[in-house]
């Protein structure tokens, strides 16, 4: 499918995997908007983008449904009806075990990682249904397929839930021309790994996936014809191969 001119919104697009995906779509000629909770991060991402990459940005707390509704109204006014939604917003915390977690942190992670994704999908679907087409990509995590001590309890729980959300919407909406892909990356060199109890050193980060690796997969999926659906994709570095 030709991507030039397609309207793309990337939630969590000011850094990490989300920013890598936003740039990749911009290079394909798409009209790309990024949203994040930090205006400073959005401004910096736009400022640091290569000269041939144009990104629009708007702040949004995706856990706030009113803000999400305003975000999609703004997107329609600025760029037009959405074609592709990428949900890449996510958080993790240092105290991530059942023995040391603050229940308020558990609630916040569920709100951002799962409910925030739901809010964006729910807001995008009416336009996609009206058009009879659309692609939703959820950046989940390998921790949404395999429970991993390294990822932590609340992260695993929220990502399993997000994976189920994407799978259900895919089953429900595929007859309306809307496709949903859950992507399950293994370790990726993004700012979220700084939240680990012991952040990895540079030599370990170099062996992880990089944001552009996931971005290449997303663009490839977006180029597939309407008859082809990719429900899920697992991508890992060699040291995290899963059976």
SS3 state of residue 8: strand
Structure tokens at 106: 């558990």
CA geometry: angle at 52 spanning 47 and 56, to 5°? 50
Q: Pick from 88, 214, 193: which is nearest to 151 by CA? A: 193
**Which portions of the chain are predicted below pLDDT 70?**
none
Domains assigned to the chain: 7-236 (3.40.50.720)
**Cβ within 8 Å of residue 16, ≥6 positions away:** 88, 188, 190, 191, 192, 211
pLDDT attached to residue 195: 75
Contact yes or no for 12/90 (Cβ under 8 A): yes
**Cβ within 8 Å of residue 107, ≥6 positions away:** none
Structure tokens at 241: 């191969």
pLDDT attached to residue 238: 92
Place of tokens 């702040």: 59
Q: Pick from 60, 172, 176, 76: which is nearest to 119 by CA? A: 60
pLDDT attached to residue 199: 83
Q: What is the 3-state secondary structure (H, E, C) of 147-207?
A: CCCCCCHHHHHHHHHHHHHHHHHHHHHHHHCEEEEEEEECCECCHHHHHCCCCCCHHHHCC
pLDDT attached to residue 135: 98
pLDDT attached to residue 241: 83
pLDDT attached to residue 202: 87
pLDDT attached to residue 233: 97
Contact yes or no for 17/90 (Cβ under 8 A): no
SS3 state of residue 224: coil
Q: Pick from 187, 129, 121: which is nearest to 155 by CA? A: 187
| pLDDT tens per residue, range 8-17 | 999 999 999 9
DSSP 57-97: EEE--TT-HHHHHHHHHHHHHHT-S--EEEE------S--S
pLDDT attached to residue 154: 97
Place of tokens 């189920």: 164
| pLDDT tens per residue, range 65-98 | 999 999 999 999 999 999 999 999 999 999 999 9
pLDDT attached to residue 83: 98
Contact yes or no for 158/164 (Cβ under 8 A): no
Task: Please give the model's pTM, rounded to 2 decimal places.
Answer: 0.94
Contact yes or no for 230/221 (Cβ under 8 A): yes
């Amino acid at each position: 499918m030709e991507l030039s001119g397609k309207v793309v919104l990337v939630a969590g697009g000011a850094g990490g995997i989300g920013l890598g995906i936003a740039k990749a779509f911009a290079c394909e000629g798409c009209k790309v908007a990024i949203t994040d909770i930090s205006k400073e991060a959005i401004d910096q991402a736009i400022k640091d983008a290569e000269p041939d990459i144009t990104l629009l940005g708007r702040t949004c707390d995706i856990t706030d449904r009113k803000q999400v509704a305003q975000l999609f109204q703004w997107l329609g006014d600025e760029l037009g009806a959405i074609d592709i939604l990428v949900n890449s917003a996510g958080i993790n915390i240092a105290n991530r075990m059942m023995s040391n977690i603050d229940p308020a942190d558990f609630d916040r992670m569920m709100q951002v990682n799962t409910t925030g994704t739901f809010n964006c999908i729910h807001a995008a679907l009416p336009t996609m249904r009206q058009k009879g087409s659309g692609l939703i990509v959820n950046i989940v995590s390998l921790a949404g397929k395999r429970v991993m001590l390294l990822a932590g309890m609340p992260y695993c729980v929220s990502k399993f839930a997000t994976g189920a959300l994407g799978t259900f919407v895919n089953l429900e909406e595929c007859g309306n021309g809307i496709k949903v892909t859950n992507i399950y990356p293994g370790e990726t060199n993004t700012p979220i790994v700084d939240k680990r109890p012991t952040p990895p050193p540079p030599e370990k980060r170099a062996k992880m996936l990089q944001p552009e690796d996931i971005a290449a997969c997303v663009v490839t999926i977006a180029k597939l014809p309407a008859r082809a659906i990719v429900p899920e994709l697992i991508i890992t570095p060699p040291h995290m191969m899963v059976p």
